[in-house]
Structure formats: structure tokens, C-alpha cells
Structure 1
Amino acid sequence: MVLWFPLVKEALSRQLKAGSQLIIALDRTQWKEYNVLMVSAIVQKRTFPIFSTLLDKQGASNLAEQQQVLPPVITLLKKYKLIIIGDREFHSIELAQWLHRQRVSFVLRQKSNTTFR
């Protein structure tokens, strides 16, 4: 368990009732020489960073890295109805299938040239 998880859990429980909807943002950013993959909770138009990892490469994250940061957060926040959101970097069908198997709702932005059947 991450050291600050009990603090996150307590802070969120003061803001939200068990069973209520909680939006979780999955994002990656390049900050100076650091490539950071971060998971944050969005509560009342504010984000609370929950879990992050430094990627040892430049550019986008892959499925394995995404699967590494999400399970601790999903487990921590299991008493809420989670909705994972992600931008175009996280548009893979494999991530969508994995999230579906975790029984987590999700909204992943698609590239403009993506078509659906």
C-alpha cells in the first residue's frame, strides 16, 4: 500500500458517500526530463493525485504501464462507482477490454479518424 492511500481514502470519504460516482483521470505528461503517468480523482472540479509512476522512456505509455497504475487505485476506491477517463493516448481496445473485465466504467477519447461498428 502506498503511504498516502489512507489519507486519500479519508479525504474522499469526507466528500463522497459510498456508492456514489467518482471520476478517475488517467493522464501522462512530460515535465522537463520526467515522463509521468498519473491517476487522479476528480471531486468538485478539483483533482486529487492518487498514484503515479515515472516512465523510463519518452512518449506515450503502453498497456502494461497503464495496468500497473490502475489496480491500486481501483482497489483503494472500490466502494465508489468509478469512471475512468482518458484522452487519446488511452484509446486502445485492449485497455477498454481490461477495464471492462475489472467491472469499471470508462470513457476513453478516440482519435478523430476512428470508426465504430
Structure 2
Amino acid sequence: MNAETRREGDARPEHCLRIEGEMTIYQAAELKPALTALLEQGDALEIDLSGVSEIDAAGVQLLVAAKKEALARRKELHLAAHSAAVVEAFELLDLGGFFGDPMMIGSGAEQENGRASART
């Protein structure tokens, strides 16, 4: 997981969080405080999902909770560069419309070899 702050004048959100590897129940406890902290720091957060190799129900729930928290705080939260695993999970659960972001598959290595997986 990598967090980055962008300078003013950049058209993209102020903060960006890139999630790499698995986004499962085992990582949810680690990711939640980082998401909460970044939502508190600025008015907008972008989550880059291109490096997510696997996502389960806990990972999806974490993203849903982050989106709800952002809406409650009147802040923007955008998901970007969805990995194949994330797209598969969102399609299975019909969540694309909930987040409102275009589901564009990122350029992570998991797409190259077609080995991404989504578990629910």
C-alpha cells in the first residue's frame, strides 16, 4: 500500500492511495485506518486499484464503507485503474453504479497473465 500527496494545480485528487497485492480479510484491519486518515486529511481521495491481485467480501466492504464515510463527510472518493479482480468482484456484486467511477482496468502484471481472482 502506497500513499501519495499531490501538489496544488494537479487536476487529480489531493491524496492517492495505491493498494497492491491482496485486499482480503487479512489486510482489511491494516487498510481501514489508512483510508480513514487520508479521508480526514483532504477533500478528495483517489484509490488506485490496479495492483489488487485478489479481493474478497471484506475488501469490497472496506471500499463500500470508505465511500459511505466520504459521502457523510462531503468529500470525494474515486476508485481508479481497477484490476481484473476488482472488476470481476464489482460485476458479480453489481457495484459499479454505487461507486460511480468508470471501471477501467489498470496495467498491473495480474492482467498480463490473466491470473487475477476475486473471492466472495
User: Fold-level match, TM-score > 0.5?
Assistant: no
Higher helix share: 2
| Bigger-Rg structure (1/2) | 1
- The structure carrying a bigger strand percent of its residues is 1
